Amino acid sequence: MYRTSRTLIASFIVVASLVPSAVLARDVPAPVPPDDAELAFVIDVIDGDTIRVDRDGGNAERVRYIGIDTPEIAHQPSETDEPWGPEATDVNEDLVRDRLVLLERDVSDTDRYDRLLRYVWVETEGGWVRVNGELVARGLAEVHAYEPDTRHHDWFSQLRQEAIDGGEGMYGDRPEAEDDAAENLLESILDLIGWD
């Protein structure tokens, strides 16, 4: 059974019925959360791939989604939003803000910024949705294999290919040659700094 307090479980049952159904990729089977996933309440959405949660009734913790990277949004007046950053953040908010979610751990507990590293699940009218994958399926997140946390990398890669084929999100605005050049440049940079 999921580790949590009785109060959170009771709240989860009520809130889960209020979450709108997500639209997952058609050709990839929808997963289900593991039995050891941990219940948490989302108190803030920082951007497309980072949220703040309460796991124990009073302690706010940042959670970074495993396996994906969304375009950045401006957090300071001197910064500007990256293309598709606000859209990724909005979808993330629609899916999880002020809702109970399940947190699935891979190998690492935290990253170098002391953020929890997790796959984040939310129950919708259509069943369980892994939010990390939903953002990829909508063309709002890139897929990255950050070792050693790669349990669902192949599934995310399938979702990404469907998003490209369907022209979803950021894959619908650019010509294919430009997409390939941008992807190759990003992969080269990630290889250079040892993130991929």
User: Which positions are annotated as active-site residues?
Assistant: 64, 72, 115
Q: Give the dihedral of Cα atoms 131, 137, 142, 147; nearest 10 deg.
A: 60
Q: Which residues 6+ apart lie within 8 Å of 125 measured at CB?
A: 17, 19, 20, 21
Question: What whole-number distance in Å separates Cα of residue 99 and Cα of residue 20?
Answer: 11
For the chain, how are helix, strand and coil distributed in percent, rounded to 5? 35, 25, 45
Residue labelled with tokens 């170098």: 112
Pair type for strands 116-124 and 60-65: parallel
Question: What whole-number distance in Å separates Cα of residue 29 and Cα of residue 59?
Answer: 35
Question: What whole-number distance in Å separates Cα of residue 139 and Cα of residue 49?
Answer: 13
- 8 A C-beta contact, residue 68 and residue 143: yes
Q: How far is C-alpha 127 from the chain's CA centre?
A: 17
